[in-house]
Amino acid sequence: MNAIQTSQLTRSFGNLKAVDRLTLEIPRGTVFGFLGPNGSGKTTTIRLLLGLLDADQGSAQVLGFDTKGQPDEVRARCGALLEHHGLYERLSAAENLDYYGRIWHMSKADREKRIRELLEPVDLYDRRAEPIGRWSRGMKQKLAVARTLMHRPELIFLDEPTAGLDPVASSALREDLSTLVVQEGVTIFLTTHNLAEAEKLCNQVGVINRGQLLAVGSPSDLRSKTSAPRLYVTGHGITSQIVNDVKGNNLVKRVQHQNGKLIMDLEELNRSHEIVTHLVSAGVQIDEVRKEKADLEDVFLQLVEEEKRGEE
């Protein structure tokens, strides 16, 4: 059974279609990354899936329950870290978790055990009695992730969990998240605009822009489906004449010339030697040649660009 299944899910605010005919299937046990720029409809999608908002059209089932008809059943089985961490800063870390444990009717012994289980791996157990008001944002986010897992949900929603964190804190949170994901074995629906994060954590990703789902699949699938292999050449003597010559070569789909570096999207990566030979014969003194597939960021930008062109 799918953890999440939506069909033509649509929600508007006035004239703005925040989510536009979204159709998704996310199997259980998946770490699903929902990628999109700010205002693309990610948060609204989470709110719809949690039954916090009603859809104008279409339907959604979460863990087998209809989000419109059985929103309480959905929320009883899910955990959510939304846009703000939502922690009570006047309370201690343990009190915050304990409150959520009580909400889910966990016994005292189970709550205490669970607080230890969740806080020890993220190095917060020794500080559990401290009021969290003066904690760093990174520590609060770790605690908020722990809170979403407190009642052992089958599915958790994480809305931009590393937003606003510095790179060190983001990386630490990602590590902790990976550890917890393996430990807990839950399905995760994660929204982000950090593509490295999605690449690292997710085994399925969907790209959304202006409420519309542009693509869905594993990160490697998306890379191979939507982006060309890429060749980077750094050297001296790369003139505009040579750049134009390369543009005319039918092995090359697209060329960028930046700071003495040529970045070429190729039709076939295994024929890159022909391009290099051509450049050498044209007089380019090559310092470095690097071949790689485009990363998720390139895929994302390409999809968003294509969507924009399609609209024009």
Partner 1 sequence: MIADILTVAGKELREIFTFGSEGRGRGKFSLLILIGVFGVFFPLQSGREWVTSSLSIMVWGWMPFLWVSGIVADLFAGERERHTLEALLATRLSDQSILFGKLLAALTYGFSLTWLVLLSSIVTINIVHGNDGLLFYPLETTIGALVFSILVSGLSGSIGVLVSLRAGSVRQAQQAMSAGMLVLFLPFMLIQFIPKAWLEAGANLLQNVQPAQIAIGLAVFLLAIEVILIAIAKRLFQRSKLILD
Q: Any bridge partners for residue 252, and if so which? A: 266
Instruction: Return the residue of 16, 64, 69, 103 that touches partner 1, per CB under 8 A.
Output: 103
Per CB under 8 A, which region of 26-34, 55-63, 102-110, 210-218 contacts partner 1? 102-110
Residue 80 or 214 with smaller CB distance to partner 1: 80
Residue 49 or 228 with smaller CB distance to partner 1: 49
* H/E segment holding residue 184: helix 167-184
Residues 6+ apart with CB under 8 A from 233: 261, 262, 264, 275, 276, 279, 284, 286, 288, 289
Instruction: Return the residue of 87, 94, 208, 294 that touches partner 1, per CB under 8 A.
Output: 87
Calpha distance 77→82 (Å, rounded):
16
End-to-end C-alpha distance for the chain, whole angstroms: 39
- Binding status of residue 14 toward partner 1 by CB under 8 A: no
Instruction: Return the residue of 11, 42, 47, 142 that touches partner 1, per CB under 8 A.
Output: 47
- Binding status of residue 54 toward partner 1 by CB under 8 A: yes
Residue 90 or 290 with smaller CB distance to partner 1: 90
- Binding status of residue 82 toward partner 1 by CB under 8 A: yes
Q: Which amino acid is at 293?
A: K
Per CB under 8 A, which region of 29-37, 80-88, 193-201, 233-241 contacts partner 1? 80-88
- Binding status of residue 287 toward partner 1 by CB under 8 A: no
Calpha distance 254→228 (Å, rounded):
9
- Binding status of residue 301 toward partner 1 by CB under 8 A: no
Quick one: residue 301, left, alpha or beta (phi over 0 = left, psi -120 to 50 = alpha)? alpha
Residues 170 to 229: which contact partner 1 by CB under 8 A? none
- Binding status of residue 83 toward partner 1 by CB under 8 A: yes
| Bridging pattern class, strands 65-66 and 16-27 | unpaired
Classify burial at 101, counting beta carbons within 10 Å of its beta carbon; exposed 0-12, middle 13-18, buried 19 or more. Answer: buried
Look at residues 35, 78, 7 and name the one whose alpha carbon lies nearest to residue 218: 35
The label of the residue with tokens 């008001």 reads 133
CB 84 to partner 1: min, Å: 4
Residue 98 or 197 with smaller CB distance to partner 1: 98
Question: One symbol per residue from 108 to 147: x for binding partner 1 (CB under 8 A), - otherwise; what is it?
Answer: -----------------------x-xx------------x
The CA R_g of the chain, rounded to the nearest whole Å, is 23
Instruction: Return the residue of 24, 50, 213, 294 that touches partner 1, per CB under 8 A.
Output: 50
Binding site for partner 1 (CB under 8 A): 47, 50-54, 72, 75-76, 78, 80-91, 95, 99-100, 102-105, 131, 133-134, 147, 157
